[in-house]
Amino acid sequence: MKIKLLSIVIPVYNEERSIDETIKQIRKVMASTSVTYEIIAVNDGSEDKSKEILDNVKNINVVHNAYNLGYGASLKRGILASKGDWILITDADGTYPLEDIPKLLSYDNYDMVVGARTGKSVKTPFLRKPAKFIIGTFANLIVGQRIPDVNSGFRVFRKEIAMRFFNLFPQGFSFTITITLACLTNAYLVKYVPINYLSRTGKSSIHPIKDFIGFMILILRMATLFKPVMVFSTISALLFAASVSVFLYSFFVLQRLLDLTVLILFLGSLQIFLYGLLAEVIKNR
């Protein structure tokens, strides 16, 4: 990669047990490269000693949120505070193998390189696996290809990409899914590099059910935004199938045609399909 300045953004929420070691590891790893970098730690209203620890670390840029805004909001604030032309994001909880940063930086001609948690040692909590599978399956359908890891928080990407889709990024944990779908549906080149995923230090702030529902809503929203014809055509096809089913059932079984119901379903199908075409035209303008 041709990097003028790499901005390493780390969201921090109650990570007093690991943030200092995370920064030390990053510095050690980056010292083995020739890349000029800056570290931006975003304290997301931590209630432990994370703020005090960060304030005592020299030669980093610390952004303090007055209160907890969320993972995505912290990344957005870190990106806005960055000066680099490339952004690398990672967590502060010790789960990502920071020694693999040079590996991510070694791939040329890509717009985003993602550390995919598909290595030999992946410590994913059991309760998250079903939700991760479902989210991944829907995301694969939207982009029309297999995504090895749709929401890895260990990746490097061009800052210009983040700024292009900045207003789409949510406040919570869906930042990574959003930038993944945005890149893959807009012809950006994305590389997935297998990495290990370690057990975290400290307590996770993820709420499985709440965040799963949020992820699903986000995926549907992204699909409507980036693939409107696919979404509207699917709904249109279901309504058309329903109209045909009602027609056949009423004609052959009930011996009387439910013509008004069939007409409403058919016209609804046609109207939604036309909405999809209109949305596609607007998207491509």
Say if residue 261 is in the same domain as residue 169.
no
Question: Cβ–Cβ contacts within 10 Å for residue 167, how many?
Answer: 7
Answer with the one of 178, 206, 226 that is the final residue of a domain.
Answer: 226
Say if residue 199 is in the same domain as residue 236.
no
Answer with the one of 226, 247, 264 that is the final residue of a domain.
Answer: 226
Q: Single out the residue of 10, 70, 6, 15 nearest to residue 44, CA to CA.
A: 70
How many Å apart are CA 158 and CA 160, to the nearest integer?
A: 5
Segment 12-29, tens digit of pLDDT: 999 999 999 999 999 999
Say if residue 164 is in the same domain as residue 99.
yes
- Write down the pLDDT at residue 64: 97
- Using pLDDT thresholds of 50, 70 and 90, give the confidence band for residue 83: very high
User: Residue 104 maps to which CATH number?
Assistant: 3.90.550.10
> Quick one: which H or E segment has residue 193?
strand 190-194
Take residue 284 and report the two structure tokens written for it: 């491509």
- Write down the pLDDT at residue 155: 98
Say if residue 279 is in the same domain as residue 154.
no
Say if residue 255 is in the same domain as residue 172.
no
Say if residue 132 is in the same domain as residue 16.
yes
Say if residue 254 is in the same domain as residue 149.
no
In three-state secondary structure terms, 42 is strand
In three-state secondary structure terms, 158 is strand
The model's pTM: 0.81
* Alpha helices for 150-227 (secondary structure H): 159-164, 175-184, 208-226
Segment 182-219, tens digit of pLDDT: 999 999 999 999 999 988 665 655 566 766 777 677 77
**Ramachandran angles phi, psi of 152, nearest 5°:** -65, 135
Say if residue 46 is in the same domain as residue 111.
yes
In a domain, 1, yes or no: no
- The domain of 49 spans 6-226
